[in-house]
Amino acid sequence: MSNVLARQRNLSELEFYKTGTEIRAEFTRYLMNEKKVPKRWRFVFAMPGIEYAIKLMSEITAANTIYPTNETELQQRRAHQNQAIVACEQILQHISWMVETLPISVNDLEKLCEKIFKEINLIKGWRQKNKVHTQKKG
Q: Where are the domains of the chain?
A: 13-128
Q: Is 38 left (phi over 0), alpha (psi -120 to 50) or beta?
A: beta
Helix (H) or strand (E) holding 89: helix 71-101
Percent of the chain whose predicted confidence (pLDDT) is above 90 = 81
CATH of region 13-128: 1.20.1440
Residue 58 to residue 134: CA distance in whole angstroms: 26
Who's near 118: CB < 8 A, 6+ residues apart?
A: 19
What's this model's pTM, rounded to 2 decimal places? 0.87
Q: What digits encode the pLDDT tens for the residues 71-118? A: 999 999 999 999 999 999 999 999 999 999 999 988 989 999 999 999
Residue 44 to residue 97: CA distance in whole angstroms: 11
